[in-house]
Chain A
């Protein structure tokens, strides 16, 4: 059975049908791409999958659990984590604290334990620090651990967002334009990192991207979206050579 099963998902904003009859099925361990021209509804689909918007029709199932209409918090706990197109870090917190905030739900102690510094506080904080540093090392951010997140260069901020999402120990990772604003070198490095995340963490990744070198370089399968509807779905090479897809991107 597929890890993520989305059936006939749709949402209307007033009279505008932003997404219509969107279906997708992602296998465990897959690197899946979601592409389409600007305004096609890609980010809207991410917002539907993470509970920011409630779908008007259709169902979302993760690992056999029905997540349709659940809140963002419940969906994250069920195993979907995401990054944002416009970076949303906790900018006043240090780099390591951003990751530790992501660890919050898996490494628990009560507020009182924190205030009175009971032994459990030191034990759990130590585990959190180790886990956070481990994650930061994967993204080559361990040297910047104590810097404020807002002080990181752009590319590293994007990486930190991925690290924070991974800290919640998701089953499915959604990346919204991870390569936006990166130069070709940074993009190439990011491709390696995403592959490494998939292999090391046994992760399933669904990503939105406009950078075709990244899409064709790492995605195994693609869905193409146009005007809120599925245009084409299938193996990356086949989809990208489809005349209809090329027309949607470049025009007649």
Chain B
């Protein structure tokens, strides 16, 4: 006899199926030559933004804490993995070995930062995480934009002022060139790798949510006082979740940096953090599948509607506000719920009518 799947398990399998189907569809489009160059250029960003959005959803939807620093973690992941790849690209020539290590490293460095800022902040109640992560993202971006690192036979040189200050030997090579960023990162990211990483991310997230730890995290979100009363260590579970969000954000950043010829810190600004938050909110807070769909749709739309590109952030903020009003206002929610029920009622009535007619 077939074992009945639990609803949570079924939900995760449906998501895997949707993502895989979309992947196959795109692969067919590309190989049959009917995909435009613009579309091909968007394939890796689809994966990057989806991973960043689902991992942010873990903190926002599952843990119930607002984080505005996802771009900061992506930035850390992007830089640390790019530095690693640039440093070893002559020694490890196979991208199949180099890139997974780079992504893992990018994720781990981001997770360390996530846990470091989480330790003081996640002990507090309220919206402190949002404030601190917002500042964190900006600090990381600005520090990295001012950082110069070069290497020569004497080893590594650091400076926060200019390239000349490094005092490099003539044969030395620049690794990070301040605001100009990192160039020469091997272009290891492909859509196929992005798809595999996205699938792994989804599996990790669903497994996490449907485990003892995920249950504890959602208990804390639903009722902190009750969670304490059954002996759940609030800070520990919050740290694990936030660390995982940072790790996956770092992985997304690694995927991002290995898709660009020149990596600049200015890309990871506040707007990017908000953009990813918009994916999460529009896809449905707490809905993993929704985040993926929203990330893909909202990455694709602005490219299609290039003519109104200047108004993108304006439209995003309006849509965000409208969504918040719609989801928090009981009257509006009730209106939709009632009409949906009516609609469903009509459909099912039709069916029964047909049956009776027979």
Contact = CB atoms under 8 A, between A and B. Distances in A.
Interface of A: 50, 52, 71-73, 76-77, 81-82, 84, 88-93, 97-98, 100-102, 104-105, 107-109, 111, 113-117, 121, 124-125, 128, 146, 164-165, 167-168
Query: In this complex, which of B216, B226, B227, B229 has the most chain A Cβ atoms within 10 angstroms of its Cβ?
Result: B229
Contacts of A71: 228
Contact of B228 (A73, A91, A125): A73
Q: From DSSP, what is the main secondary structure of chain B's interface residues?
A: helix
Nearest to B6: A146
A101 B225 contact: no
B229 A81 contact: yes
B223 A89 contact: yes
10 contacts: A72-B229, A73-B232, A76-B228, A76-B231, A82-B229, A92-B222, A100-B215, A101-B227, A111-B240, A128-B212
B7 A101 contact: no
Contact of A88 (B211, B218, B223): B223
A84 B215 contact: no
Contacts of B233: 73
A98 B219 CA distance: 8
A146 B223 contact: no
Given A114-B208, A115-B207, A115-B211, A90 B231 contact: no
Contacts of A50: 229
Given A81-B229, A124-B212, A146-B7, A117 B222 contact: no
B120 to A, nearest CB: 18
B207 A167 contact: no
Contacts of B214: 114
For chain B, give the interface size range: 20 to 34
A116 B230 contact: no
B207 A90 contact: no
Nearest to A121: B211
B217 to A, nearest CB: 10
A71 B228 CA distance: 9
Contacts of A125: 212
A114 B210 CA distance: 8
B231 A111 contact: no
Nearest to B216: A104
Interface string B222-250: 11011111111110000010000000000
A98 B218 CA distance: 10
Interface string B130-145: 0000000000000000
Nearest to B218: A93
B222 A114 contact: no
A246 B208 CA distance: 55
A75 B288 CA distance: 36
Nearest to B211: A114
A167 B232 CA distance: 13
Closest 5 CB pairs of A and B: A114-B211, A76-B231, A88-B226, A90-B222, A111-B213
A116 B7 contact: no
Contacts of A167: 230
A128 B211 CA distance: 11
A82 B227 CA distance: 11
Contact of B204 (A89, A93, A115, A121): A115
Given A90-B223, A115-B207, A146-B6, A107 B212 contact: yes
A145 B265 CA distance: 50
Nearest to A80: B229
A71 B210 CA distance: 28
B230 to A, nearest CB: 5
Contacts of A93: 215, 218-219, 222
Contact of A101 (B6, B204, B207, B232): B232
Contacts of B234: 73
A81 B230 contact: yes
Nearest to B241: A111
Given A101-B216, A104-B212, A111-B213, 14 more contacts: A84-B226, A90-B218, A90-B226, A97-B215, A101-B215, A104-B216, A109-B212, A111-B208, A114-B212, A114-B214, A128-B212, A146-B6, A146-B7, A164-B230
Contact of B231 (A105, A121, A124): A105
